[in-house]
A and B are shown apart, each in its own frame.
Chain A
Amino acid sequence: MSPYVLLIISISLLLGTSLTLLSNHWLVAWMGLEINTLAIIPMMTYPNHPRATESAIKYFLTQSTASMMLMFAIINNAWMTNQWTLSQISDQTSSITMTLALAIKLGLAPFHFWVQKLPQGIPLTSGMLLLTWQKIAPMSLMYQISPSLNMKILTILAFSSTLLGGWGGLNQTHLRKILAYSSIAHMGWMTIIILINPTLMLLNLIIYIAATLTLFLALNHSSIDKIKSLANLWNKSTPMTIVILLTLLSLGGLPPLTGFMPKWLILQELVEHNNIPMAMLMALSALLNLFFYMRIIYVSTLTMPPSTNNSKLQWPHQQTKTTNIIPSLTIISSLLLPLTPMFITLS
C-alpha cells in the first residue's frame, strides 16, 4: 500500500479513537466513530479481490446502521434532556437504542453475524486492527454511559455472546474466523461486568487486546491462516509455537497466565453480587472457547503432524521479518497474573 495512503489512514484511525475517548459532546464522539469506520475501509479493500470487497461492504453497512441508531439515540437524548454532554442517559428509549447500537458496533450476539465471516476475506493486519483497535472507542462510550444501562438487555447480550462465540468456533479451521469467534465471546465477558464494575471491563479489554495482538502478529510473521498450516510451524520457527501456546492458553483463561485474571475477577464480582447462576454459565461457556484453542495448540505445539522426511530438515535461514514486539506482547499476555493486586486497587 502506498505510504501516503497508509499515513492518512493511520492518522485518521488514531484521530477517530482519540476523539471518541477525549470528547464530552455526543456529536464529537459520534464523529470519532465515523472517522474510524471510514478510515479502515481502504485497509480492508487493499487486496483487490472480491472477498475483501465483500468484507469491506459488510463492515461498512453494519457500522453505518449502528452509527445511524446511535445518532438517533443521541438526538432523542438531546431532545428529552436538552443537553449534549457525554454522561448518563436518563431517557429509557435513548439508553436502550444506544446500547443496541453499540452492541452492533462491537459485534455482540445477536448482532454477531457480521463478525463471523468478515475477518476471513481481509488480510491479517486489517483483521487485527478490526478486532482490537476498533473495539476501544465503542467500549469507552459504554464505559461512560454504564450507570444508565439496562441490566436485562446486557445480560442477554453477554450470555448469548459467550455461548454463540464458543459454539460457533467449534467447527472452524480457518484461524481468522476462530479469532473472530474468540472476539465475540470476549465481548460477552466484558458486557456482563460493565454495570457491576466498569473497571474490570477495561481490564478485560486491555488483556484481550494484548493477547489478540500477540496472536495476530505471530500468525502474520509466519503467514498462517489455516490450522493445517500450523503443522510445520515447529520446524520453521519454534519460538512461534511457544508464543502461540502461551497466548492461546491465556485467551482461554487458564491460570497461571494473564488471561485468568479478568475471568477470575469478573466471576468474583458476579458471585459477590449474588449472581451465581450467571457466573456458572459464563464459566461453562468459556470452556467451549478453550476447546478450539486447545485444538490449535494440539496441532501446532503438542504434536508433530505427519510430514515427509525432507520437510523435517529446515535450514535455519536468517529471518527477514521483524519480530520486535512479539516477545514483549507475549510477556504481557502470559506473565502478568502476579500483578493482580495492583489491578484490583485501580478500581
Chain B
Amino acid sequence: MEMMVVFLFSVLFIFGFVAFASKPSPIYGGLSLVVSGGLGSAIVVSLENTFLGLVVFLVYLGGMLVVFGYTSAMATEEYPESWVGNMVAFSMLLFTLFVELVWYFMSGEVEVDTAVELFDTVGVYCVGQDSSGVSLLYGCGGWILVLLGWVLFITIYIVLEIVRGRD
C-alpha cells in the first residue's frame, strides 16, 4: 500500500515537472511548482526524513513560491497562456515512463548495518542529522553562512543587472 502511494506521488511529481517545463504563463508554472514541490516533500516524508520535507514545504512553497506568485500576479498579462495541445499530455506520459524506468533500474537492495550507520566518519552520533546539521550551520559553520549570504546577494544583484537592459 505504501509503495503504491509513493509510486503515485512520483508519477504526479513528473507530471508537475512537465507541466511547468512546457512553459505556460508564470502563474500556471507556479501552480505546477506547488503541486510538484508538495508531492516531492511528501515522498521525502514517506522515507522518514520529516525535517527535510517540512522545511521544503515551509520555506520553498510557503516562502519563495508565495513571493513568486505575488510578483507574477503584479506582472501578468490579460489572458495568460495555459496548457494547450496534446503534446503536453503526451510528453507527460513519456517522461513519466523514462523516470520510472530509471527508478526501477537504479533501485535495489542496500545492506543496512545499523551499528555502523549511526556514526559518521568523525564518530559523532548522528540520528536526526538534518535538524542538528542546520543548527551547526549557525554555530561552527559560521563562515559557510557568510558565504551563503554572499551567494544569495550576488544572485539577486546579477539578476537585476541582467534585467536592467540599456541605460
Tell whether A pairs with B: yes
Q: How far is the CA of A45 from the CA of B159 in the complex (A)?
A: 11
Partner of B162, one of A19, A34, A35, A42: A42
Query: Which stretch in B26-34, B36-44, B78-86, B146-154 binds the other chain?
Result: B146-154
> Known contacts A12-B154, A31-B151, A38-B155: does B161 contact A48 (CB below 8 Å)?
no
Q: Which residue of chain B is the closest to A84 with respect to CB atoms?
A: B121
User: Which of B121, B147, B155, B166 is within 8 Å of A31, CB to CB?
Assistant: B147
Interface residues of B in 112-167 (CB under 8 A from A): 120-121, 144, 147, 150-151, 154-155, 157-158, 161-162, 165-166
Cβ B154 vs Cβ A45 within 8 A: no
A38 near B158: Cβ-Cβ < 8 Å: yes
B150 touches A48 (CB 8 A): no
Q: Once the chains are docked, how many angstroms separate the CA of A32 from the CA of B51?
A: 27
Whether B162 pairs with A39 at a CB distance below 8 angstroms is no
Residues of B within 8 A of A83 (CB): 121
**Across-interface contacts of B151 in A (CB, < 8 A):** 31, 34-35, 38
Cα-based distance from A250 to B81 in the complex (angstroms): 56
Q: Are B147 and A39 in contact (CB under 8 A)?
A: no
Q: With a CB–CB cut-off of 8 A, which chain A residues contact B144? A: 28
Cβ of A8 within 8 Å of any chain B Cβ, yes or no, is yes
Residue of chain B at shortest CB distance from A39: B154
- Bound-complex Cα distance A83 to B122 (A): 11
Nearest-CB residue, chain B, relative to A60: B162
- A15 interface residue per 8 A CB criterion: yes
Chain A contacts for B147, CB-based, 8 A:
15, 19, 31
**Would you give the shortest CB distance from A42 to chain B, in whole angstroms?**
4
Q: Is the CB of A41 within 8 A of B158?
A: yes
How large, as a class, is the contact surface on chain A?
Answer: 10 to 19
Q: Is the CB of B161 within 8 A of A42?
A: yes
- Give the distance to chain B from A200, nearest Cβ to Cβ, in Å: 33
Contact of A42 with B121 in the complex, beta carbons under 8 Å: no
Contacts of B165 in A (CB 8 A): 48
With contacts A38-B155, A48-B166, A83-B121 taken as known, whether A15 is within 8 angstroms of B161 at the C-beta atoms is no
Which residue on B lies nearest to A56, using beta carbons?
A: B162
A61 at the interface (CB under 8 A from B): no
Contact in complex: A5, B166 (CB < 8 Å) = no
What's the Cα separation between A12 and B154 when bound, in Å? 8
Q: In this complex, what residue of B is CB-closest to A28? A: B144
Given contact pairs A15-B150, A35-B151, A83-B121, A8 touches B162 in the complex (Cβ within 8 A): no
A5 to B164, CA, bound (A): 12
Chain A residues with Cβ below 8 Å from B120 are: 82
Query: Shortest CB–CB separation between residue B164 and chain A, in angstroms?
Result: 8
In the complex, the answer to whether B154 meets A8 with C-beta atoms within 8 Å is yes
- Which residues of A in the span 1-44 have a Cβ within 8 Å of any Cβ on B? 5, 8-9, 12, 15, 19, 28, 31, 34-35, 38-39, 41-42
Of all chain B residues, which has the CB nearest A47?
B166
Bound: A15/B148 CA distance, A = 12
Say yes or no: A35 contacts B161, CB within 8 Å.
no
Closest to B148 in A: A31
Q: Are A39 and B158 in contact (CB under 8 A)?
A: yes
A38 and B121 in contact (CB under 8 A), knowing A5-B161, A31-B147, A45-B162? no
Docked Cα-Cα span, A19 to B144, in Å, equals 11
A83 to B119, CA, bound (A): 12
* A210-B137 Cα distance, complex, nearest whole Å: 40
Q: Which chain A residues lie closer than 8 Å to B162 at the CB level?
A: 41-42, 45, 56
Give the complex CA separation of A5 and B144 in angstroms.
23
Interchain Cβ contacts under 8 Å between A and B, 12 examples:
A9-B158, A15-B150, A19-B147, A35-B151, A35-B154, A38-B154, A38-B155, A39-B158, A41-B162, A42-B162, A45-B161, A48-B165
Q: Top 8 A-B pairs ranked by shortest CB distance? A: A42-B161, A48-B166, A12-B154, A42-B158, A45-B162, A5-B161, A38-B158, A48-B165
Q: Contact residues of A with B, CB < 8 Å?
A: 5, 8-9, 12, 15, 19, 28, 31, 34-35, 38-39, 41-42, 45, 48, 56, 82-83
Task: List 9 extra interface pairs beyond A15-B147, A35-B151, CB under 8 A.
Answer: A8-B154, A15-B150, A19-B147, A35-B154, A38-B155, A48-B165, A48-B166, A56-B162, A82-B121
